[in-house]
């Protein structure tokens, strides 16, 4: 039986997991969605492109059996996570969801939780200068904002965008000093982000705290029931070791 492990990747945790597994001699295939034009590639074999939903992934797993699947996609990749759960159940493939913890508020934070990007847009409609760091996929929800918007993403966002938008193309990690300078330059009054967790983009939260700027955070989507979870790469490695 194959000892290959399929990693659904695109995150720093996925890259660290793939590198550790390769070092341990495990046959790893990382799948990337292909939404970023120039992704940082992990160790081991890589495939780029979607599977075609749960049925497509299930068909792929039947044609290319693996010992286990680790879903290490972004915490907000809800469609992929749901598809992985359905495909794993349909094919009897062990599945682990590797998802880093969300952020924890610190003294001095002014965090305002919402359940969706649409709710986030409603929450910041009255601000004159909004810093949008939600990624380029969901910017349509903010298209009607009347104020100035600073949008940061890895790749150029597609319209529709708010009428008064400035786009900054950048990939984390970001420093607190750089975030402070950016927010001051654009006179940011409120920050909008998803509860992605991790250290790569956490500096904006520290900068907002120091500038006494509120942060609107979108809550994470719920995980599919019954799926095993791990919060760290080390936990994921231990889980894989039990299946390979």
225: which residues sit within 8 A by CB, 6+ positions away?
none
**Mean pLDDT within 214-225:** 97
Task: Give percent of the chain above pLDDT 70.
Answer: 99
Position 3 scores a pLDDT of 85
**Mean pLDDT within 135-152:** 94
pTM for this structure? 0.90
42: Cα separation from own chain's centroid: 16
Q: At the topology level of CATH, where does 5-101+221-241 sit? A: Rossmann fold (3.40.50)
**Mean pLDDT within 208-235:** 97
Q: How far apart are CA 216 and CA 154, in angstroms?
A: 21
Residue 2 vs residue 114, higher pLDDT: 114
Q: How confident is the model at residue 135 (pLDDT cuts 50, 70, 90)?
A: confident
The residues with which 26 forms a beta bridge, in sequence order, are none
Q: How confident is the model at residue 161 (pLDDT cuts 50, 70, 90)?
A: very high
* CATH topology identical between 5-101+221-241 and 111-218: yes
From 28-42, 60-74, 99-113, 128-142, the region with the lowest mean pLDDT:
28-42
Residue 130 vs residue 37, higher pLDDT: 130
Position 137 scores a pLDDT of 83
Position 16 scores a pLDDT of 97
CATH 3.40.50 fits 111-218, yes or no: yes
User: For the CA atoms of the chain, what is the radius of gyration?
Assistant: 19
Predicted confidence (pLDDT) at residue 195 exceeds the cutoff of 70: yes
Predicted confidence (pLDDT) at residue 33 exceeds the cutoff of 70: yes
Residue 40 vs residue 149, higher pLDDT: 149
Q: Report yes or no: 102 and 221 within 8 Å, Cβ to Cβ.
A: no
Predicted confidence (pLDDT) at residue 2 exceeds the cutoff of 80: no
**Mean pLDDT within 62-70:** 97
Q: How confident is the model at residue 98 (pLDDT cuts 50, 70, 90)?
A: very high
Predicted confidence (pLDDT) at residue 39 exceeds the cutoff of 90: no
Predicted confidence (pLDDT) at residue 214 exceeds the cutoff of 80: yes
* Residue-range domain boundaries for the chain: 5-101+221-241, 111-218
Q: How confident is the model at residue 1 (pLDDT cuts 50, 70, 90)?
A: low
Predicted confidence (pLDDT) at residue 133 exceeds the cutoff of 90: yes
């992985």: which residue's tokens? 84
Q: How confident is the model at residue 92 (pLDDT cuts 50, 70, 90)?
A: very high
**Mean pLDDT within 75-99:** 97
215: which residues sit within 8 A by CB, 6+ positions away?
109, 110, 111, 112, 190, 191, 192, 193, 204, 205, 208
Supply the DSSP string of 33-54, one letter for each residue. ---SSSPPPPSSEEEES---HH
Strand order in the sheet with 5-8: 45-48, 28-32, 5-8, 68-71, 95-98, 228-230
């Amino acid at each position: 039986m194959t000892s290959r492990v399929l990693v659904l990747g695109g995150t720093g945790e996925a890259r660290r997991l793939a590198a550790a597994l390769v070092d341990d001699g495990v046959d790893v295939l990382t799948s990337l969605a292909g939404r970023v034009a120039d992704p940082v590639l992990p160790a081991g074999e890589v495939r780029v492109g979607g599977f075609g939903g749960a049925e497509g992934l299930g068909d792929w797993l039947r044609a290319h059996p693996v010992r286990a699947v680790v879903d290490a996609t972004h915490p907000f990749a809800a469609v992929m996570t749901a598809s992985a759960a359905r495909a794993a159940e349909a094919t009897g493939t062990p599945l682990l969801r590797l998802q880093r913890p969300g952020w924890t508020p610190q003294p001095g934070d002014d965090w305002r939780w919402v359940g969706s990007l649409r709710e986030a847009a409603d929450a910041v409609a009255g601000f004159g200068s909004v810093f949008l760091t939600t990624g380029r996929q969901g910017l349509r929800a903010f298209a009607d904002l009347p104020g100035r918007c600073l949008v940061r993403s890895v790749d150029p966002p597609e319209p529709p965008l708010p009428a008064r938008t400035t786009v900054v193309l950048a990939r984390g990690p970001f420093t607190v000093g750089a975030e402070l300078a950016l927010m001051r330059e654009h006179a940011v009054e409120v920050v909008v982000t998803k509860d992605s967790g991790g250290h790569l983009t956490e500096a904006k939260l520290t900068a907002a705290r120091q500038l006494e700027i509120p942060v609107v955070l979108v809550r994470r989507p719920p995980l599919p029931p019954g799926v095993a979870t791990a919060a760290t790469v080390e936990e994921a490695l231990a889980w894989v070791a039990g299946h390979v």
